[in-house]
Amino acid sequence: MTIAMKAGETTAALVGREADRDWWRGAVIYQIYPRSFQDTSGDGIGDINGITRRLPYVASLGVDAIWISPFFTSPMKDFGYDVSDYRSVDEMFGTLHDFDMLIAEAHRLGLKVMIDLVISHTSDQHPWFVESRASKSNAKADWYVWADAKPDGTPPNNWLSIFGGSGWHWDPTRMQYYLHNFLASQPDLNFHNRDVQDALLDVTRFWLERGVDGFRLDTINFYFHDKELRDNPALDPTLRNATIAPAVNPYNWQDHIRDKNQPENLLFLQRFRALMEEYPAIAAVGEVGDAQYGLQIVADYTSGGDKMHMCYAFDFLSGEPLTPTRVASVIGRFQTAAPEGWACWAFSNHDVMRHSSRWLHLVREHDFEQYLRMLSGLLMSLRGSVCLYQGEELGLTEADIAFEDLQDPYGIQFWPDFKGRDGCRTPMVWEHDRPSGGFSVGQPWLPVPPEHRNHAVDLQDHRHASILNHYRHFLKFRRSQQALIKGDMEVLSSDGDVLVFTRSVGNESLICMFNFAGTYQTVPRPQGGITGLEGHGFSGLLRESDIELPPYNAFIGRLD
């Protein structure tokens, strides 16, 4: 059941009331990037009240939950992923009262609320770091990762930053280096210090008491570092992967077995899970950022039922072409590595080029919309939970942002070889004929691409065949099929252009067929009884001896 909350009612007050602790398994989670969703203040930056205003739209999609990217107080050097106060809302986004109202409205509409917890690092303006860097003897001196220079003054080891250059930054006050896996203004917390863990768990409890239903844990495998600060070894050039960092960044040249992915993390995740278990129906998804060991980390972090509920991997977030063989390989490797684990799949998010542009070259222009429909149905038919990124339901493509309009420090650092993440973060387009597409009455923080106006919500809302309504239709269909939500998955065929798999729960089995080709394909009719299902928006045709699949289309049937 959905537990509705009154404004100001805390989650603690709900203990003892009926709750579905398993709601996350097979949930569809809609990611909201608050800066770009809806501005209500006129400053060109989205805000909490804007999210609340648009929640009926989100609910109309048929998703189960929202994930809100960081809105905490921050100097915004990395747009909220550099937190300077974990217990407050940045004034550009609103107030804690605004957030309480958002939770109340979301729960009224039957939506769970998950928030992005960024606890591997803070801003260098966080009071913890200000105190820590003041001396080597203060109460928080060991709350961050500090180390002496080598005798020649160089950094303690060869660890690199994802954002470029050394992962160490010199501090003249302490006459030491501190570790930063991202910007130099994002110092890493020292999880080997139990007091740090306790403080972060207190932050977690603060938001649980405000009524959140779960968390997305940013960079979950970066929490611990090698205490001996040993160098990372070089990575075989044939294994370099640009999923985590762009190919122009030498970060990909190291095998990151020392600066992240440490075994001590499992014990902290158990502590985190134990805290969540004190509250009804709380769930967490961990973002695993690793190109070499991702699936094994997912397996470790979701095993045993005492750590993460699910993990968010990068397997489908790369530019590698999506084919039946590739999908089957990823699913197979996950099932082998984590037979008892649960994945959370995504094709797009706020850190990577939108999949509509990553894979656009694979199809002809006139097939583009149908290809996106096929991809959406595929994503929401895989075993696991699903994250949808705002705007993908509109078919938005990656925006081409001019250098003078860039905001992302990542893109500014590596431009023009890598243009950063601004292209996937441009504002939502609500109304095609309004300033900034209805996002704001002011100048938006990133420009709204003219071509996005043709995909605005108001143009698609009442067009039955629109991409937006395809998402709605398929999500409605999915809610009626328990096998698609929580069922097991078995790949039957992935050769050629058609992916065929089953989803089964109890005595119910569905067969799903997805055509990745721009031509008609036929698949032999399975032995035994089969009934074609309707309502999912695809037009695969069940015939006497085979099943016909139009270009970039699908068939879903029930096996009798």
Q: Are 183 and 77 a contacting pair, CB within 8 Å?
A: yes
Q: What are the contacts of 442-450 at 24+ separation with CB within 8 A?
A: 442/39, 442/42, 442/43, 442/44, 443/44, 444/39, 444/44, 445/35, 445/36, 445/44, 445/45, 445/407, 446/36, 446/399, 446/401, 446/405, 446/407, 446/422, 447/399, 447/401, 447/405, 449/397, 449/399, 449/400
Q: Chain-wide mean pLDDT for the chain?
A: 94
- State the pLDDT confidence band at 7, using cuts at 50, 70 and 90: very low
Active site residue 9: no
Residue 331: HSE in the Cβ half-sphere, 13 Å Cα cutoff: 25
Tell me what the mean pLDDT of segment 315-344 comes to.
Answer: 92
Q: Percent of the chain having pLDDT more than 70?
A: 96
Q: Are 183 and 409 a contacting pair, CB within 8 Å?
A: yes
| pLDDT tens-digit readout, 386-421 | 999 999 999 999 999 999 999 999 999 999 989 999
- Does 1 have pLDDT greater than 60? no
- Does 293 have pLDDT greater than 90? no
Provide CB contacts within 8 A for 152, sequence distance 6+. Answer: none
Q: Are 159 and 167 a contacting pair, CB within 8 Å?
A: yes
- Does 520 have pLDDT greater than 90? yes
Q: How far apart are the first and last CA of the chain?
A: 30
Q: Where are the domain boundaries for CATH 2.60.40.1180 in the chain?
A: 487-559
Tell me what the mean pLDDT of segment 193-219 comes to.
Answer: 98
CA–CA dist 370, 467 (Å, integer)? 8
Tokens 């493509």 sit at which residue? 397
User: For position 295, what pLDDT does the model report?
Assistant: 84
Which residues are 491's β-sheet partners? 501
- State the pLDDT confidence band at 2, using cuts at 50, 70 and 90: very low
* Structure tokens that stand for 226 in this block: 């090698």
User: For position 18, what pLDDT does the model report?
Assistant: 52
User: For position 314, what pLDDT does the model report?
Assistant: 84
Tell me what the mean pLDDT of segment 519-535 comes to.
Answer: 95
187 φ/ψ angles, rounded to the nearest 5 degrees: -65, 145
User: For position 5, what pLDDT does the model report?
Assistant: 41
- Does 36 have pLDDT greater than 70? yes
Active-site residue, selected from the candidate residues 209, 236, 278, 495: 278
Which residues are 433's β-sheet partners? none
Q: Where are the alpha helices (DSSP H) in 244-293?
A: 265-276
Burial of residue 543 (CB within 10 Å: 0-12, 13-18, 19+) is: exposed
CA–CA dist 266, 296 (Å, integer)? 13
User: For position 462, what pLDDT does the model report?
Assistant: 93
| pLDDT tens-digit readout, 435-465 | 999 999 999 999 999 999 999 999 999 999 9
Tell me what the mean pLDDT of segment 98-114 comes to.
Answer: 98
Q: Where are the domain boundaries for CATH 3.20.20.80 in the chain?
A: 11-123+194-478
User: For position 244, what pLDDT does the model report?
Assistant: 66
- Does 112 have pLDDT greater than 90? yes
- Model pTM greater than 0.75? yes
- State the pLDDT confidence band at 240, using cuts at 50, 70 and 90: confident
- Does 148 have pLDDT greater than 80? yes
User: For position 16, what pLDDT does the model report?
Assistant: 36
* Domain 487-559, CATH among 3.30.830.10, 3.90.1170.50, 2.102.10.10, 2.60.40.1180: 2.60.40.1180
- State the pLDDT confidence band at 312, using cuts at 50, 70 and 90: confident
Active-site residue, selected from the candidate residues 171, 218, 315, 393: 218
Q: Which of 495, 544, 487 is nearest to 516 (CA)?
A: 495
- Does 13 have pLDDT greater than 80? no
- Does 3 have pLDDT greater than 70? no
User: For position 4, what pLDDT does the model report?
Assistant: 40
Tell me what the mean pLDDT of segment 185-201 comes to.
Answer: 98
User: For position 294, what pLDDT does the model report?
Assistant: 86
Q: Which of 216, 210, 217 is nearest to 106 (CA)?
A: 210
CA–CA dist 499, 519 (Å, integer)? 14
Among 35-39, 284-288, 411-415, 547-551, the minimum mean pLDDT is found in 411-415
* Domain 11-123+194-478, CATH among 3.40.190.10, 3.20.20.80, 3.30.360.10, 3.30.70.2190: 3.20.20.80
* Structure tokens that stand for 410 in this block: 């990542």
Tell me what the mean pLDDT of segment 243-265 comes to.
Answer: 89
The 8-class DSSP code of residue 109 comes to: T
Active site residue 218: yes
Tell me what the mean pLDDT of segment 531-555 comes to.
Answer: 97
Q: Percent of the chain having pLDDT more than 90?
A: 89
- State the pLDDT confidence band at 8, using cuts at 50, 70 and 90: very low
Chain CA centroid to CA 270, Å: 22
Tell me what the mean pLDDT of segment 482-507 comes to.
Answer: 97
- Does 17 have pLDDT greater than 70? no
* Other C-beta atoms lying within 10 Å of the C-beta of residue 407: 16
